[in-house]
Structure 1
Amino acid sequence: MCGIFGTTIKYKEADIYDNKLETMRQRGPDFSKHIEINNKLVFGHNRLAIVDLDERSNQPFVYQHISIVFNGEVYNFLELKRELIELGYHFETTSDTEVVCAAYLAYGENCVNHFNGMFAFVIYDPTMEILFGARDRLGKKPFYYYLNDSGFEFASKLSAIEIGNELEIDYESLTRYLYWNYIPEPYSPYKKVHKLPSATCFTYDLNSSVFESRLYWDLPNENNVTYSDFQQAKTDLKGVLQDSVNIRMIADVPLGVFLSGGVDSSLIAAMAQHNSPKPIKTFSVKFSEKGFDESVYAKKVADILGTDHTEIQCSYEEGIDFIKNFSKYYDEPFADSSAIPTLLLSKYTKENVTVALSGDGGDETFLGYNIYDVVQKRKKIYQIPFALRSMIAVVLKYLPGIRFQIIARGLKLKNIREFYLYYFKTLNTKWILKKEHDPKYLSYLNNSKKNLLEAISDFDTKSYMNGDCITKVERGSMAFSLEVRSPLMDYRVLEIARKMPTNFKYGDDGNKKRILKEVLYDYLPKEIFERKKAGFSMPLGIWFKSTLKDFVMETFSNENLKLVEPLIDKREFMKIVEQHMNGQWDHTPRIWKMLVLINWLKRKDYA
Structure 2
Amino acid sequence: MSGLAGVWRAHEDWDDERLRYCARSMIHALRHRGAHDHAVWSDAAAGLALSHCRAFEGGAAQPAHSANGRYVLSLDGALFNRESLYHELAALDEVAADACDAALLLAAIARWGLQRTLSRCNGAFALSLWDRRDRILWLARDRVGKRPLYYGWAGGDFVFASELKSLHRHPGFDAAVDPDAISLLLRYDYIPAPHSIHRGIFKLSPGAFLRLNPAAMRAGHGAHQPAHDTQVYWCARQRMTEAVGSRTELALDEAVDQLEILLQQAVSARMNAPRPVGAFLSGGTDSSLVAAMMQAQTATPVDTYAIGFDDDRHDESDWARKVARALGTRHTEHRVDGREALGMIERLPQVWCEPFADSSQVPTLIASEIVARRSPIAMTGDGGDELFFGHSSYCRALRNARWNAQLPGPLRRWAHRSGGARAERARLGGLRALWAELGAREVEDNYLQRVSRWRDPSAAVLGAREPLTVFGDPQRQLRIGDAADRIQFLDFQMDLPNGILTKIDRAGMACGLETRSPLLDRAVIEFAWSLPTALKHHRGEQKYILKKLLERYLPAPLIYRPKNGFGAPVASWLRGPLREWAEALLDESRLRAEGHFDARVVRGLWGEFLGGQRKWHTHLWNVLMFQAWWEQYGLGAASSAFAVLAEPLPAVGPERIARVQYGY
Q: Normalising by structure 1, report the TM-score.
A: 0.93
For 1:445 and 1:90, how far apart are their aligned partners in 2? 40
Gaps in structure 1 of 5+ consecutive residues: none
Judged with a 3 Å threshold, the aligned counterparts in structure 2 of structure 1 residues 133 and 564 are, in CA distance, closer, same or farther, namely same
Quote the offset at 1:287 in angstroms. 1.9
Among 181, 186, 210, which residue is 2:189 paired with? 181
- Is the Cα contact below 8 Å between 2:283 and 2:317 reproduced in 1? yes
Partner residue of 1:37 out of 39, 43, 52 = 43
Gap change, CA 1:411 and 1:167, over 3 Å in 2: same
**Secondary structure at 2:268 match in 1:** helix
Q: Contact between 1:135 and 1:143, CA under 8 Å: does it hold in 2?
A: yes
Paired position in structure 1 for 2:230: 213
How far, CA to CA, are the matches of 1:416 and 1:366 in structure 2? 18
Letter in 1 for 2:288: S
How far apart are the structure 1 equivalents of 2:391 and 2:476? 16
1:484 pairs with 2:515 = yes
Instruction: Specify the code of the residue in structure 2 equivalent to 1:3.
Output: G
Trace 1:364-513 onto structure 2 (pairs within 5 A). Answer: 364-382=386-404, 383-388=406-411, 403=429, 404-422=431-449, 424-429=451-456, 431-432=460-461, 434-440=464-470, 442-443=473-474, 446-507=477-538, 509-513=539-543
Offset of residue 520 of structure 1: 0.9
SS in 2 for 1:336: coil
CA distance in 2, matches of 1:357, 1:391: 48
Contact 1:329 1:476 (8 Å CA) reproduced: yes
Q: Taking structure 1 as reference, are residues 546 and 426 closer, same or farther at Cα in structure 2, changes over 3 Å only?
A: closer
State the Cα distance separating 1:343 from its structure 2 match.
0.2
Which residue in the other structure is 2:24 paired with? 18
Cα gap change, 1:171 to 1:427, in 2 (>3 Å): closer
Q: CA deviation at 1:206?
A: 4.0
Equivalent residue pairs, number: 601
Question: What's the CA shift for 1:275?
Answer: 0.8
What SS does the corresponding residue of 2:530 show, helix, strand or coil? coil
Letter in 2 for 1:87: L
Q: Counterparts in 2 of 1:592-603, with a 5 A limit?
A: 592-603=621-632
Measured in 1, the distance between the counterparts of 2:442 and 2:125 equals 38
> Is the 1:60–1:68 contact (alpha carbons within 8 Å) kept by the matching residues of 2?
yes
Aligned alpha-carbon RMSD (Å): 2.5
3-state DSSP class of the match of 1:57? coil
CA gap 1:58/1:575 in 2 versus in 1, 3 angstroms: same
Identity of aligned residues (%): 28
Q: Which runs of 5+ in 2 are unaligned?
A: 219-223, 637-664
Q: Deviation per CA, 1:303-340, whole angstroms, max 9, x where unpaired?
A: 11111111123254331122233101101010000011
For residues 366 and 603 of structure 1, the distance between their equivalents in structure 2, rounded to whole angstroms, comes to 39
| Deviation per residue, 1:126-177 (Å, 9 max, x gap) | 2322223310001110001114783422100111112212212222112211
CA distance in 1, matches of 2:328, 2:257: 25
Asked if 1:528 is matched to 2:558, the reply is yes
Structure 2 residue aligned with 1:62: 65
Secondary structure class of the residue paired with 1:291: helix
Structure 2 contact 338–573 (Cα < 8 Å) conserved: no
Report the equivalent of 1:259: 281
Question: CA offsets, 1:412-464, max 9 Å, x none?
Answer: 33343312124541545354554523214644885332211100011110101
Letter in 2 for 1:185: A
Aligned to 1:193: 201
Q: CA deviation at 1:125?
A: 2.0
* 67-76 or 168-177, larger mean C-alpha shift: 168-177
Residue 390 of structure 1: how far off its partner (Å): 7.3
| Equivalent pair of 2:551/2:559 in contact (CA under 8 Å) | no
93, 114, 136: which one aligns with 1:88: 93
| 1: CA distance, partners of 2:525 / 2:355 | 29
Provide the rounded CA distance (Å) in 2 between the counterparts of 1:3 and 1:424: 31
Contact 1:563–1:606 under 8 Å retained in 2: no
Residues 226-277 of structure 1 show CA distances to partners (whole Å, capped at 9, x for unaligned) of: 3432222221111111101110001111110111100000000000111112
CA spacing shift, 1:586–1:298, aligned 2, 3 Å = same
CA distance in 1, matches of 2:626, 2:618: 12
What's the CA shift for 1:579?
1.5
Name the structure with the higher helix share.
Answer: 2
Asked if 2 retains the 8 angstrom alpha-carbon contact of 1:364 and 1:465, the reply is yes
Does the 8 Å CA contact 2:267/2:518 hold for their aligned counterparts? yes
